[in-house]
Amino acid sequence: MSQYHIDTVDPTVRNSSQAIELELVGPNRRVLDVGCATGFFGKALAAQGCAVTGVEFEPQAAAEARAHLDEVVEADLNVTALADIFADREFDAIVFGDVLEHLMDPDAVLRSAVQLLAAGGAIVMSIPNVAHGSLRLALLQGRWDYLETGLLDRTHLRFFTHESVVAMVVGAGLDITDLRGTILDPLGCEVEIDDESLPGTIVDWVRGQPDALTYQFVLRAEVARAHGAPVPDLLPAVELPPAEDAHSARAALEARDAAEVAERRVLIEELTDARRRILTLRDHAIGAEVTVGTARAEVEAAKSEVHNALTELVAVKQSRTWRTGKLVLAPVGAVRRILRSR
């Protein structure tokens, strides 16, 4: 793809899909560079001891690539399968550097490539992320403007997310052994965003979403084992420092306000709970007062009964019967019964 021609590949640039692909291929490999363009990446592969064969659709780009690669085949992979072009060959590594998204049936092309892998060989690819934060913000503004290169290259036929890339690779009978991502801020790439017209803290919110900073997925995959292997976590090529702009400042302010609201809510809940406990204690106290009042009334009633009994006893003692001793036990027994019942 000649629109992606660059002069040289610098293997020391960490946040570069070409530099990562060079690392994932390794030195001294038999490599098939699919969509080799003008041969700039094949030249970098050759510099690390690889024997490089290229496939290219555009005749002019293929002609330039022949100056750097061992062999270049002109072919349209929408028409001809890789396994047919190189039926008698095998490779230690097959590279798809930002190529599969330009094809009508990338799944079929990838499955065909797997047939050409030597024992222990690997597929190495980079592919743009359609869920990058810049495109999420652009869609919020109702925009999807194709460009000459980048995430919205006008020649892209397919678009991939993290999940769909993994599904395509696993569906081709491969295990992903290394998964990385080149990283760009949503406001730092070629997609035009009118960020000042976006509401509130939406830019900073998008920055925090899964894969929103991943510009390209770069991976290495081998023929799957019997039961496959777990997909590794995506490793970012670099760690972006926290953004410091008007959007991050608004987000920080909103977070502070939200924290204050949450703190007030906690205080209100604590006060409400305290009031609830006070009301409960008050109810218990009222109940206790009722109980005490009842007990007091019963004591007073008992006192009255005792008083009456004693009055009766005094009256009896003054009677003639008391003096004769015939009715002594009756009033005394009544008093004892009263006292025992209390």
| Domain definitions of the chain by residue range | 2-241, 257-341
Q: What are phi and psi of 162, to 5 degrees?
A: -55, -50
Residue 327 has pLDDT above 60, yes or no: no
pLDDT tens-place string over residues 227-275: 878 999 999 999 998 888 878 777 677 667 666 677 778 777 877 887 7
pLDDT single digits (tens) 125-165? 999 999 999 999 999 999 999 999 999 999 999 999 999 99
- Lowest mean pLDDT: which of 56-65, 148-157, 304-313? 304-313
pLDDT over threshold 80, residue 312: no
Edge-to-edge strand order for the sheet containing 91-97?
A: 71-74, 51-56, 30-34, 91-97, 117-128, 214-223, 174-183, 235-236
pLDDT digits (tens, 9 = 90+) for 79-99: 999 999 999 899 999 999 999
Give the pLDDT of residue 135: 98
Q: Give the ranges where 7-75 is alpha helix by DSSP (H).
A: 17-25, 40-47, 59-65
Q: Tell if the pTM clears 0.85, that is, is over it.
A: no
Q: Where are the beta strands (DSSP E) in 156-297?
A: 174-183, 214-223, 235-236
Q: How far apart are CA 35 and CA 1, in angstroms?
A: 6
Angle at 27 between CA 25 and CA 32, to 5 degrees: 50
Q: Is the dihedral of CA 128, 130, 132, 134 positive or negative?
A: positive
Query: What is the four-CA torsion angle of 184, 185, 191, 193, rounded to 10 degrees?
Result: 180
Pairwise CA distance, residues 245 & 251, whole Å: 10
Q: Considering only CA atoms, which of 170, 150, 58 is closest in space to residue 107?
A: 170
**Residue at token pair 């599904």:** 167
Q: Which of 180, 184, 182 is nearest to 133 (CA)?
A: 184
- Mean pLDDT, rounded, for 275-297: 78
47-65: average pLDDT: 97
- CATH code for the part of the protein at 2-241: 3.40.50.150
Helices (H), 124-245: 133-140, 162-171, 202-207
